[in-house]
Each structure stands twice: as C-alpha cells, then as structure tokens.
Amino acid sequence: MAIVTAQRLVTIERHIAEQEHLHPHATGEFSRLLRDLMLAFRLIAREVSRAGLNDILGLTGTTNVYGEAVRKLDAYANEVIIRAMEAGGHLCAMASEESDGLIHLPPGRPRGKYILVFDPLDGSSNIDVNVTIGTIFSIYRRRDPSSTTDGTLEDLLRPGSEQVAAGYVCYGSSVTLVYSTGNGVDVFTYDPTLGEFFLTIEKLRIPQRGKQYSINEGNAKRWAPELQQYIDYLKTPSADGQRPYSLRYVGTAVADVHRVLHYGGIFMYPADRIHPSGKLRLLYEVNPLAFLVEQAGGRASDGFRRILDIAPKELNQRCPVFLGSPEDVAEAEAFLQRRHPWQQYSSGSSEPTVVSV
C-alpha cells in the first residue's frame, strides 16, 4: 500500500495559511510562529545532511568557512531554534532539553502569548554514526493571554493535554515533518533542492494494532516482572498468527515513534530498577509524541494513566512511556496492571499452559 496519501500539491506555508483561515479570529501570530520554526528546521536539516563532512572539510576548528564558530550538532540545533524564535515577538518563554531552566528572551522585544518547548536534537547517541535523529517541539498558550511580560515556570508546567500544537522533524533517509494543531496529524516531506516541505500524508491514522514492538531490551533484567511477561507474550507465537511480534529499535525516540505511527505496534521506554521514571523527559519528548499519537488515533500511557493528563512538577521530569496502536497499548497496560488473561498462563512455551497454583 502506498504510504503517500496527499492528492494536492501543498507546501507547509500554504498549509499553515489554510489552517489559519479555518479560525476567523486568528491574528496570524501562531502562523508566524510556525513559519519561524520551519526556518530553524530547514537550517538544522541542512547541517544534519553535512554532519559527517565537518572533519574532512576542516570545519572542526574554531571557525568554519563562513567565519562562524563550529559547534556540536546538538548545540548548533539548540542555538538555531533559539535565534530563529527569540526575537519574533510570538513567544513569552522557551525551554529546551539542551538549556538549563527557562531561556531568557532578549530585552526590548515584544512578548507574545505562546510558549515553545523543544528537544533540538533527539537521539544524541546516533548523531555521529549517520542514524536517524530528530527535533521535537511543543507549543502552549500562556496562562494569561493578555500579559505582556516574560512567561514563568508555571506557564511551562502544564499537562500535555493543554498543548496547542506539537510535532517533530525526523532526519532520516528523507527529512519529514510531522505535526498537529489538534486537528489530526499531517506529514510533510522536505525537498532539499527547493527548500520546501510538501504535504505527503493528510490526516495520518495509526493502525488499531501492529505487529512490531520497540524497546531497549538490553534492560530486560531490570524490568518489573509484569513487563517481562508482556514482552515474553509478544514473542510467543499465537494460533492466529498475530504473534510473535518483530522487534525494531533505533534508539532515537523520534524514529521509533515515526515508524509506530505508520505501521502500528508499540514503543516503550519503561521504568526499571535503575531508572524509576524511565529515561525520556515528559515536557521535551514524551508530551509532544503522546499528543501526536493520540491525534493519529493511538494511545499514550505511562502504564497506569494517560500521559497527557500528568501535571508536571519540574522541567526535567521523566516519565515511563508506552505509546502506539490503541489495542497494543491497552494490552501492555493490562499486563502492567495484572489484568491480562494470559498472565494466568506460564510463559516460555509456544502454546500457553495453565500455571498450577
């Protein structure tokens, strides 16, 4: 089945303008914010595609051919987003996984009503080996929209259900932008020769169930027994052919979730004995990805509750993650909460047998 569903030739600019017209009272501020963000993504995409060349082109000294200081790619991405967004007048606050605390906006510029939270380059361990990495972003409206002062920490510490938009850019075999303003999920593919993102999938829907699971299985010995049992279940062949599932794990959340959004299945970064809240950060990574998954018809949970309902207490808070096809995530929850009928059976044999008690 062809993945591309868009029938119209629509650039991201036109798409943003069309969305704005759906809201007769829109001031254009949100659209301008998105356009500034797209510029930052274009700049990062350009640099990511040249990542491996820095050494041989002699760009790892103090300055590059343009006379600019050369930075590590994640620091570069962080700086580009801050520079593209800080003076636009649309934001009152920003926070990044790469920066400590709130990012201060320059003095003497107007403050807008939006807040931007981002992970500039997700999948840092994959940067140097040409494996897919991503940028994740999330946009909130400030608590008091009439205020003209800097946003505060309280403006940022909000449940993910209050996001007005979220998305990511996936720097893979092509560059893809996936985003939602709460009206479904649209996918754009970047043409580097034109510098344009074109709509390639309109209103992406995640399959109800998949056949792939995604988790760092190297941590298995540290997991709760309920999770070990769930993964064991996924690997046990079933009579209907639905199982065993295949394992896919890139180690870049953006890439793993991107695949799950298209093919279905489940992505997990659970708690374990060493990491009681998992590894991924609620504000920077988990909430935007959870928002997209729900907008595509999927489910996002920490194993016991809906992720988008969690009220964060601090910027760097971590959160266990189970997200993807609704049936798969509901099944994982049933295992973790000891509600799954299979738990009455022993694991380890291809045909479940009743455990004797």
Q: Which window, 6-14, 122-130, 311-319, 340-348, contacts ligand AHM (CB under 6 A)?
A: 122-130
Q: Which is nearer to ligand AHM, 119 or 155 (CB)?
A: 119
- Backbone φ and ψ for 102, nearest 5 degrees, come out as -70, 145
Instruction: Give SS3 for 326.
Output: helix
Q: Which is nearer to ligand AHM, 198 or 213 (CB)?
A: 213
Tokens of 27: 């001031």
Q: Which is nearer to ligand AHM, 36 or 98 (CB)?
A: 98
CB count within 10 Å of CB 68 equals 11
251 makes contact with ligand AHM (CB under 6 A): yes
275 makes contact with ligand AHM (CB under 6 A): no
Rg (CA), the chain: 21
Q: Pattern of binders to ligand AHM over 216-235, x per CB under 6 A?
A: x-------------------
296 makes contact with ligand AHM (CB under 6 A): no
Distance CA 236, CA 255 (A): 26
252 makes contact with ligand AHM (CB under 6 A): yes
H or E segment and range at residue 333: helix 326-336
Amino acid at 153: L
Distance CA 92, CA 113 (A): 6
User: Which of 5, 11, 124, 147 touches ligand AHM by CB under 6 A?
Assistant: 124
Name the DSSP class of 318.
B
User: Which of 269, 291, 322, 335 touches ligand AHM by CB under 6 A?
Assistant: 269
Closest CA to 303 of 226, 189, 219: 226
CB of 27 to Mg ion, least distance (A): 32
CB of 88 to ligand AHM, least distance (A): 25
CB of 136 to Mg ion, least distance (A): 7
Q: Which is nearer to ligand AHM, 203 or 222 (CB)?
A: 222
User: Which of 279, 299, 318, 340 touches ligand AHM by CB under 6 A?
Assistant: 279
Q: Pattern of binders to Mg ion over 112-141, x per CB under 5 A?
A: -------x--x-------------------
31 makes contact with ligand AHM (CB under 6 A): no
CB count within 10 Å of CB 26 equals 12
How does DSSP assign 1-64, residue by residue?
A: --S----S--BHHHHHHHHHHTSTT--SHHHHHHHHHHHHHHHHHHHHHTGGGTTTTT-SSSB-
Q: Which is nearer to Mg ion, 119 or 333 (CB)?
A: 119
Chain residues 159-198 in contact with ligand AHM, contact rule CB under 6 A: none
CB of 169 to Mg ion, least distance (A): 13
Tokens of 173: 């075999």
First-to-last alpha carbon distance for the chain, in angstroms, is 48
Q: Which is nearer to ligand AHM, 238 or 317 (CB)?
A: 317
- Cβ within 8 Å of residue 23, ≥6 positions away: none
H or E segment and range at residue 297: none
Site residues (vs ligand AHM, CB under 6 A) = 119, 122-125, 216, 251-253, 269, 279
Site residues (vs Mg ion, CB under 5 A) = 119, 122
